[in-house]
């Protein structure tokens, strides 16, 4: 058995490469930040039972502004429509 004094000793050991060669890491799935932000609005609505409003609560107000921005931008609206599981982007919300 080897006695290693430092991490460098471990990484430069000839056996190290053989130990890590078979290790596979799962690919990191990247989600579009805009989709993540929209999903945050959906989660908020599910927890609170209503759409975010323009209130003094900064978190709620931020979500309200974000939703308003999505609804006023046709490109963003179209992009996020597939993720709208609760009908936030449907007719009558403009």
User: Tokens in use for 64?
Assistant: 């309200």
Give CA–CA dist 90/86, Å, rounded. Answer: 9
Contact 48/3 with Cβ under 8 angstroms?
A: no
Provide the residue ranges of all domains of the chain, joining segments of one domain with +.
Answer: 33-83
Each residue's pLDDT, cut to its tens digit, for the chain (94 residues) gives 566 678 787 777 777 777 766 677 777 778 899 999 999 999 999 999 999 999 999 999 999 999 999 999 999 999 999 999 999 998 666 5
């Amino acid at each position: 058995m080897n006695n290693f004094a430092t991490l460098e000793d471990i990484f430069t050991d000839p056996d190290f490469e053989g130990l890590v060669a078979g290790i596979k890491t799962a690919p990191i799935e990247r989600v579009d930040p805009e989709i993540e932000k929209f999903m945050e609005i959906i989660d908020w609505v599910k927890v609170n039972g209503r759409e975010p409003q323009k209130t003094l609560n900064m978190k709620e107000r931020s979500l309200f502004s974000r939703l308003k921005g999505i609804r006023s931008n046709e490109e963003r609206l179209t992009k996020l429509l597939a993720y709208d599981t609760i009908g936030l982007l449907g007719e009558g919300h403009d």
